[in-house]
Amino acid sequence: MATGRNSQGLPWALPLGPTWVLWRHIYCHGELLHQVQMARLYPDDKQFVDMPLSTAPDQVLQSFAELAATYNNTVPREQLEKFVQEHFQAVGQELESWTPGDWKESPQFLQKISDPKLRAWAEQLHLLWKKLGKKIKPEVLSQPERFSLIYSQHPFIVPGGRFVEFYYWDSYWVMEGLLLSEMAETVKGMLQNFLDLVTAYGHIPNGGRVYYLQRSQPPLLTLMMDRYVAHTGDLAFLRENIETLALELDFWAENRTISVSSGGNSYTLNRYHVPYGGPRPESYSKDTELAHTLPEGSWETLWAELKAGAESGWDFSSRWLVGSPNPDSLGSIRTSKLVPVDLNAFLCQAEELLSGFYSRLGNESQATKYRNLRAQRIAALTALLWDEDKGAWFDYDLENQKKNHEFYPSNLTPLWAGCFSDPAIADKALQYLQDSQILNHRHGIPTSLQNTGQQWDFPNAWAPLQDLVIRGLAKSPSARTQEVAFQLAQNWIRTNFDVYSQRSAMYEKYDISNAQPGGGGEYEVQEGFGWTNGVALMLLDRYGDRLSSGTQLALLEPHCLAAALLLSFLTR
């Protein structure tokens, strides 16, 4: 076994040598992957790259080479279908359902929920953890070259739907929900899986598949550890793993850093950046088709920017198209040319938490190091991303040397992350939301105000983005701003509850124009759903004594919402 990086930028954690090379030629790139995906044997490209091999990879590739030679390197669709049936297993064979051993009836937070309908619904959400539990079979450990799934020792909770493996940033909100469900052992196991990945690869991949190894996702590992330790007091676990937390931050410092000059000063911040080309294996045909709308010389750049967009978690959004010559086309994506507010807020928070961890463990030199890094980052956020006139932070366009003033909930992430010093900032953020007319939306906070057909744009709303805004506003000492946070929570809970009442399902995203499951993007909306359940439980826990399953706000005209919020405060 070894760790490191090969010439393609893929970290090693499997046996090096011929087996590793052949394995990559099936799941990550190569002629077999190209012909199968471009033949569109399946409605979703992800299906093929999730299929385990029936035999060793060298045998699969040898058989395919012989087949390709028979047909002058262009294998007919019917023969490709037959080949896949003979050499691959059905999706999901390497996973088994798992019921968490620490699941129990009636966790205490349920008693906080006054509305009986919401309490019954919360009980159903608590039950969903049983349906979303997965455990990896031992053959993935003994024969890793036959699987695209990355082995994890401990069982875990998945998002749901097509996402049957772990995903990095999803797991933070899942863990918040699990801790409310008093499932700390499940959380510890998931944390250990992530820590093992950092040890093996130097970072946490986007998700639990080998084809995700070139990219990560928003860095929330240190926050996950903080929530677990706060819940359990398990300092021994923290002490054992604190250097691994630091190692993950090193990955972002060494591989995703950019220097920006402004006003005669130089600032260091981070961006999403995946410097490796090739189509994403799980979206191979779409990426290839998109490339063919552009000059061939720009294909590798396009594919690298698509991977960076996937690393952001916002795959895809007008946020990554702004400033391009054709901002309506995904072919103009330029993720790495923007310094994102949320990424830098997440890292700022991680630096603060890591400083606190080291201090608790008696290592003041390391505590000081991360305290200073946080201070430097806040100074950079203030100098480059903060706009005093608008009362929010904004992504910085490196090429055009200006802020992107479009609305995204991520603009308020530093508030959620505690990366600010002025206590009045939360109230300025409220004014920003009013000025942007975000409070007029009755069913949730939109992901943007641009309707592009991408899933991280209007009219979709996503659970983690609701959390960023609601808990950010709730930090305000102002009763009015706190009241707006509650009303936004009420709107989101009602949307989730109403859709669940109609469909008996939770979804990854919602269409706030009609309070229905969301749409757009590269695949159909998925049920489950890990982070949506987690955020719903968090809001039910925080506001359970006040939340209602009724429909009084739904009777308001949109333009009346802001006034209603103020009236609600004045009449309390």
Looking at residue 64, its amino acid is F
Among 455, 531, 433, 512, residue whose Cα is nearest residue 178: 531
Place of tokens 């749409």: 519
Contact 533, 125 (CB under 8 A): yes
Please tell me the distance from the alpha carbon of residue 537 to that of residue 59, in angstroms, as a whole number. Answer: 48
Q: How far apart are CA 309 and CA 217, in angstroms?
A: 10
Distance CA 90, CA 382 (A): 51
Q: Helix, strand, or coil here: 257?
A: strand
- Could you give the CA distance from residue 17 to residue 513 in angstroms, rounded to a whole number? 53
Q: Report the amino acid identity of residue 353.
A: L
Shortest CA distance to 551 belongs to which of 473, 476, 495?
495
Element spanning 266, H or E: strand 265-270
From 342, 467, 508, 541, active-site residue: 508
- Rounded to the nearest 10°, the torsion over CA 39, 45, 46, 48 is -10
User: Is there a catalytic annotation at residue 508?
Assistant: yes
For residues 282 and 49, is the Cβ–Cβ distance under 8 A?
A: yes
Cα first-last separation, the chain: 64
Which residue in 315, 427, 467, 483 is the catalytic one?
315
3-state SS, one letter per residue, for 488-502:
HHHHHHHHHHHHHHH
CA distance 375 to 352: 9
Residue 315 a catalytic site member: yes
Catalytic residue ranges: 315, 508
